[in-house]
Amino acid sequence: MKTFDFFLDQKVTTWMRTDFSIEANNLNEAVKIAKEKLERGDLDEISWDEVEGVKEVLHLLFLLNHLTIRALWNIVWQVLFNLWFVILKHV
């Protein structure tokens, strides 16, 4: 009997958290320093941990339904938009 290998792709949305400390004289100063570090990219090398209980797997049927609804909305919008210009031309 032969063995066949498969893979499954999933789109996953989750929240990640990183812990770090800032030395400052007060909370406002600490927040300011933290924002500056974030903007400079100083926090990029810190490891991230997944926040438990917030992972959301987007299933293929959900994505297909979403794409179908979005495609239909785009078609309806284009028809209405073109109709509006036709009406304006005849007014």
Dump pLDDT digits (tens) for 9-47.
777 778 888 888 999 999 999 999 999 998 998 888 888
Mean confidence (pLDDT) of the chain: 78
Question: Which residues fall within 8 angstroms of residue 55, CB to CB, at 6 or more apart?
Answer: 12, 13, 14
Q: pLDDT at position 32, please?
A: 94
* Most confident of the ranges 38-47, 63-72, 81-90: 38-47
Check whether 68 has a pLDDT greater than 80: no
Q: Where are the domains of the chain?
A: 11-58, 59-91
Question: Global pTM?
Answer: 0.44
Calculate the CA 44 to chain-centre distance: 19
Helices H, strands E: what count in the chain?
2, 4
pLDDT above 70: percentage of residues in the chain: 69
